[in-house]
């Protein structure tokens, strides 16, 4: 109870505090501090759930089970490491005149608010509040994407706002339909939107309404996940916003949106008793994997490249949850975790690399390793990890997904393998000359914070070799819950 | 039709008004009239919510009617008018749209939505069964409006009127969502509007116009 309030309250308090003092010199440190406290609260919550089992508090408004608890911990953790990375990064940006002090204040305040909306979305038990929090997450990040106020960033932010706004409106319609179906069983007294209540009666929910609701929910939240063909906003928003924002968008927001889709899928599947939801998710997932993989090779901007890679990985995860069953779900959850860690690590490295080269164009960034070995190695190892090289854990999860696909959906396996191969060729051939070769890059005025990159990659490496028993336990429980 | 109570007929009437206004907005080129139409749509929405509240004795729906009235009839149109005055785009006319074709598309969308809603409407225990189809149709029409418009403010009005359609679905087809959710949605809409207001100024500053054709630089590498 107290832990949940702390997890939710700290970022809000941080946002208010930073709205007041965000332009001062110590603001980045305050930002890191608030994120650290949030992480501590999230760890305390996690420990409590580990020892006492699922929690349902505050008039059933908040709910923690094995599925969302690890996402809460992950969100708080990546939020914390990103705030460490953003300290030197934003300082350099400010010194280069891309930002004023006032915008920095906006940035810090919105960063905290964004964190809190994601945590609310993860912890709430009410499908309506989940929608409200997702919309609020869009609104806070719109301002972050347009932070530089360049024509390109304004365009990206406008596109992001309109596309996600429309998408999320579809999700609201889906939520209304869900309520429409549930209200007959549970009455109008507010219980009809609570996930735990809905989960209890899911077998009796009206199937025709729920199948229509799921289409709207999948399209709505799927827009935020970045599923093809609803992905148009994603590369622009990633490329034009500040890099810490790209890192949290890719690493956290996409996960949270996918979490919403999966919660809905559990209900719909329980009601329909057929493969409708599965097939829709597999279809969208596979399409995203294939399209994103083939678009990778055409990218010239390094942040766009990794944005497309995020679409590809979200496609893989959606496909895995679409297949369902204990192994695919386990792999999907693992992939959510390691993709989030690896992709944010890559964005940290890419951010500093782009600052050194003074450009985000791949052609302009050459020979990172000679001037700054840490950034070069961070980028090289991160790229290898995200491409699914063993012994990193992305390999483990992709291997599990592929072997399950071979057994259960053999038709999809060639497409998946082909896409993974194409993605490998595209990304590797672009990253390799960036890391090695003749150099043009310069030194940075401040020491970059590269520790988060290696901490993330070390965790991904560890998960590839050994998954701690409690984590494996959660994944298994959550996988069973998802069905 | 004799056994349909008066309030149900009134809800259906307002539903029809809502849909008509959605069409009117689709066909309207001038920004100022568009805002008035949007306010009128909000008013129809508030009325129908109040009638549902009266008929079903659900006190919280009165609140939601009040919020709708305050937000969608008074506050948002006022904000939009203010924005237009400040940005000096009062006489903006959307030139590039082909209204007859758009209207035809709109009719197709309405037929489609009614078909989609038909199996659900038959399940509905609520008296105003047809309203779900109408709500879906007005969401689709606002969607179409957003796609066809090239200027920023009409696009945003499309976005807001989509929210109207959704709210109508929530209140009339299901007798209202729980209060916390409605409050959250209202807050989101308001914040969205404020952010967009800031945004308009930024776009204007950068491009000297609110024409979204300037915003077409970011494309796949060519």
**Each residue's pLDDT tens digit in chain A (483 positions)?**
788 888 899 999 999 999 888 778 889 999 999 999 999 999 999 888 888 878 888 788 898 888 888 899 999 999 999 999 999 999 999 888 888 888 899 999 999 999 999 999 999 999 999 999 999 999 899 989 989 888 888 889 988 988 898 888 899 989 988 988 888 788 766 678 899 888 888 888 888 889 989 999 999 999 999 998 889 899 999 999 999 999 999 999 999 999 999 999 999 998 888 889 999 999 999 999 999 999 999 999 999 999 999 999 999 999 999 998 899 999 999 999 999 999 999 999 999 999 888 888 988 888 888 888 889 999 999 999 999 998 899 999 999 999 999 999 999 999 999 999 999 999 999 999 998 877 777 777 778 888 999 999 999 999 999 998 888 988 898 899 887
- Judged by a CB distance cut-off of 8 A, whether residue A298 touches chain B is yes
Residue A78, φ and ψ in degrees, nearest 5: -65, -35
Residue B42 lies in a domain: yes
Cα distances (angstroms) measured from residue A462 to each of A30, A393, A394: 31, 7, 11
Residue A188: per-residue pLDDT = 67
Question: Residue A238 in contact with residue A254, Cβ under 8 Å?
Answer: no
DSSP per residue, A275-331: SHHHHHHHHHHHHHHHHHHHHHTT--BHHHHHHHHHHHHHHHHHHHHHH-SHHHHHH
Residue A136 to residue B188, Cβ atoms within 8 A: yes
Residues shown for chain B = 222
Interface test with A, best of B174, B183, B187 (most A CBs within 10 A): B174
Distance to chain B for A214, nearest Cα, Å: 14
CA angle B153, B154, B159 (to 5 degrees): 95
- Reported as type and span, the H/E element at residue A56 is strand A55-57
Residue A335 CB contacts under 8 Å (≥ 6 apart), including other chains = A313, A316, A317, A320, A394, A397, A398, A401
Residue B80 lies in a domain: yes
Is residue A89 packed enough to be buried (19+ CB in 10 Å), middle (13-18) or exposed (0-12)? buried
Residue B1 lies in a domain: no
C-alpha span between B90 and A417 (Å, rounded): 56
- Reported as type and span, the H/E element at residue A253 is none
- Reported as type and span, the H/E element at residue A81 is helix A66-95
Chain A CB contacts of B196 under 8 Å are 161
Residue B199 to residue A154, Cβ atoms within 8 A: yes
Chain A CB contacts of B146 under 8 Å are 162, 166
Chain B CB contacts of A157 under 8 Å are 199
What residues does B115 pair with on adjacent strands?
none
pLDDT tops 80 at residue B212 = no
| Percentage of chain B exceeding pLDDT 70 | 88
Residue B125: per-residue pLDDT = 61
Chain B CB contacts of A298 under 8 Å are 220-221
> Tens of pLDDT along B183-195?
888 888 888 888 8
Quickly state the pLDDT bin for B96 (edges 50, 70, 90): low
Chain A CB contacts of B181 under 8 Å are 126, 128-129, 131-132, 193
Residue B95: per-residue pLDDT = 65
Question: Residue B151 in contact with residue B210, Cβ under 8 Å?
Answer: yes
- Judged by a CB distance cut-off of 8 A, whether residue B114 touches chain A is no
Q: Among residues 145-184 of chain B, which lie with CB inside 8 Å of chain A?
A: 146, 152, 155, 159, 162-163, 166, 169-170, 173-181, 184
Is residue A302 packed enough to be buried (19+ CB in 10 Å), middle (13-18) or exposed (0-12)? buried
Distance to chain B for A130, nearest Cα, Å: 9
Q: Among residues 50-69 of chain B, which lie with CB inside 8 Å of chain A?
A: 58
Chain A CB contacts of B206 under 8 Å are 149-151, 154
Alpha helices per DSSP H over A302-441: 302-323, 326-357, 368-371, 373-386, 393-408, 413-435
Burial A207-228 (b: 16+ CB within 10 A, else e): eebbbbbbbbbbbbbbbbbbbb
Strands (E), chain B: none
Interface test with A, best of B119, B143, B178 (most A CBs within 10 A): B178
C-alpha span between A130 and A125 (Å, rounded): 8
- The whole-number average pLDDT for the span B106-114 is 91
For residue B222, the tally of other CB atoms under 10 A from its CB is 4
SS3 B93: strand
C-alpha span between A81 and A341 (Å, rounded): 10
Residue B177: per-residue pLDDT = 76
What residues does A56 pair with on adjacent strands?
A63
| For residue A229, cis peptide bond before it (omega within 30 degrees of 0) | yes
Quickly state the pLDDT bin for B64 (edges 50, 70, 90): confident
Highest mean pLDDT among A159-168, A213-222, B25-34, B171-180: A213-222
Size of interface A-B (CB pairs under 8 A): 132
Chain A CB contacts of B179 under 8 Å are 190
Tell which phi-psi region holds residue A437, choosing left (phi > 0), alpha (psi between -120 and 50) or beta. left
Burial A275-292 (b: 16+ CB within 10 A, else e): ebbbebbbebbbbbbbbb
Residue B178 to residue A128, Cβ atoms within 8 A: yes
pLDDT tops 50 at residue B222 = no
Q: Within 13 Å and on the Cβ side, how many CA atoms surround B153?
A: 32
Residue B195 lies in a domain: yes
- Judged by a CB distance cut-off of 8 A, whether residue A177 touches chain B is yes
Fill in the DSSP letter of residue A365. -
Chain A CB contacts of B190 under 8 Å are none
User: Which residue of chain B comes nearest to A194, CA vs CA?
Assistant: B178
Residue B123 to residue A173, Cβ atoms within 8 A: no
Q: Which residue would you say has higher pLDDT here, B213 or A474?
A: A474
- Judged by a CB distance cut-off of 8 A, whether residue B116 touches chain A is yes
Domain with B150 in it = 6-216
Question: Residue B4 in contact with residue B127, Cβ under 8 Å?
Answer: yes
Place of tokens 């359609």: B165
- Tokens standing for A238? 């990633």
Fill in the DSSP letter of residue A232. T
**Closest by Cα among A220, A142, A216 to A177:** A216
Chain A CB contacts of B185 under 8 Å are 128, 131-132, 135, 172
Residue B71 lies in a domain: yes
Domain count, chain B: 1
Residue B101 lies in a domain: yes
- Judged by a CB distance cut-off of 8 A, whether residue A197 touches chain B is no
Residue B222 lies in a domain: no
Residue B221 lies in a domain: no
What residues does A63 pair with on adjacent strands?
A56
pLDDT tops 60 at residue B221 = no
Residue A193 to residue B178, Cβ atoms within 8 A: yes
C-alpha span between A297 and A305 (Å, rounded): 8
Tell which phi-psi region holds residue A367, choosing left (phi > 0), alpha (psi between -120 and 50) or beta. left
Place of tokens 């782009």: A354
Fill in the DSSP letter of residue B57. T
Burial B65-92 (b: 16+ CB within 10 A, else e): bebbbebbbebbbebbbebbeebebeeb
- This model of the complex carries an ipTM of 0.89
């Amino acid at each position: 109870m107290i832990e949940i309030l702390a997890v939710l309250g700290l970022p809000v308090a941080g946002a208010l505090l930073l709205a007041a003092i965000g332009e001062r010199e110590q603001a980045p440190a305050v930002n890191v501090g608030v994120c650290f406290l949030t992480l501590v609260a999230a760890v305390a919550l996690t420990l409590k759930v580990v020892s006492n089992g699922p929690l349902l508090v505050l008039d059933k408004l908040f709910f923690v089970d094995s599925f969302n608890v690890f996402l809460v911990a992950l969100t708080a953790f990546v939020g914390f490491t990103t705030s460490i990375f953003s300290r030197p990064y934003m300082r350099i940006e400010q010194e280069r005149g891309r930002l004023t002090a006032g915008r920095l204040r906006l940035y810090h305040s919105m960063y905290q608010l964004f964190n809190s909306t994601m945590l609310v979305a993860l912890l709430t038990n009410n499908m309506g509040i989940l929608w409200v929090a997702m919309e609020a997450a869009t609104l806070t990040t719109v301002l972050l994407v347009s932070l530089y106020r360049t024509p390109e960033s304004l365009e990206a932010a406008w596109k992001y706002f309109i596309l996600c706004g429309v998408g999320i409106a579809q999700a609201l319609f889906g939520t209304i339909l869900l309520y429409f179906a549930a209200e007959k069983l549970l009455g109008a007294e507010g219980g009809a939107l609570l996930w735990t209540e809905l989960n209890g009666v899911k077998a009796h929910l009206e199937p025709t309404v729920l199948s229509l609701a799921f289409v709207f929910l999948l399209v709505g939240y799927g827009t935020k996940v970045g599923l093809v063909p609803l992905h148009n906003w994603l590369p622009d928003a990633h490329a034009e916003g500040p890099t810490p924002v790209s890192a949290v968008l890719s690493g956290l927001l996409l996960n949270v949106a996918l979490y919403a889709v999966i919660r809905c899928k559990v209900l719909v599947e329980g009601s329909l008793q057929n493969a409708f939801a599965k097939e829709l998710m597999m279809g969208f997932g596979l399409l995203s994997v294939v399209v994103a993989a083939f678009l990778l090779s055409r990218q010239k901007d390094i942040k766009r490249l990794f944005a497309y890679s995020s679409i590809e990985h979200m496609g893989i995860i959606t496909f895995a949850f679409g297949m369902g069953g204990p192994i695919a779900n386990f792999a999907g959850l693992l992939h959510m975790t390691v993709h989030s860690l690896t992709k944010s690590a890559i964005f940290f490295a890419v951010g500093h690399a782009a600052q050194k080269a003074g450009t985000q164009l791949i052609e302009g960034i050459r020979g990172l390793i000679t001037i700054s070995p840490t950034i070069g190695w961070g980028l090289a190892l991160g790229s290898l990890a995200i491409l699914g090289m063993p012994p990193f854990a992305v390999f483990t999860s992709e291997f599990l997904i592929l072997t399950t696909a071979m057994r259960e959906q053999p038709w999809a396996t060639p497409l998946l393998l082909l896409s993974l191969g194409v993605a490998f060729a595209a990304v590797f051939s672009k990253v390799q000359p960036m890391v090695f070769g003749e150099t043009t890059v310069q030194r940075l005025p401040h020491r970059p914070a590269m520790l988060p990159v290696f901490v993330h990659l070390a965790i991904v490496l560890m998960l590839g070799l050994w998954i701690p028993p409690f984590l494996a336990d959660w994944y298994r429980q959550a996988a069973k819950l998802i069905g | 039709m004799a056994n349909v109570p008066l309030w149900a007929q009134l809800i259906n009437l307002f539903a029809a008004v809502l849909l008509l206004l959605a069409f009117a907005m689709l066909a309207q080129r001038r920004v100022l009239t568009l805002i008035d139409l949007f306010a009128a749509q909000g008013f129809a929405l508030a009325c129908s919510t109040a009638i549902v509240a009266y008929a079903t004795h659900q006190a919280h729906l009165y609140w939601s009617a009040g919020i709708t009235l305050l937000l969608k009839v008074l506050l948002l149109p006022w904000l939009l008018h203010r924005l237009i005055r400040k940005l000096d785009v009062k006489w903006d006319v959307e030139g590039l749209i082909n209204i007859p074709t758009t209207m035809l598309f709109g009719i197709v969308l309405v037929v489609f939505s009614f078909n989609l809603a038909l199996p659900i409407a038959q399940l509905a225990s609520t008296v105003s069964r047809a309203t779900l189809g109408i709500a879906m149709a007005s969401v689709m029409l606002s969607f179409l409006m957003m796609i066809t418009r090239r200027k920023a403010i009409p696009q945003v009005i499309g976005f807001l009127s989509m929210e109207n359609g959704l709210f109508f679905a929530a209140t009339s087809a299901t007798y209202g969502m729980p209060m916390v959710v409605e409050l959250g949605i209202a807050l989101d809409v308001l914040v969205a509007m404020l952010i967009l207001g800031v945004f308009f100024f930024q776009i204007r500053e950068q491009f000297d116009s609110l024409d979204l054709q300037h915003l077409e630089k970011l494309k796949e590498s060519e």
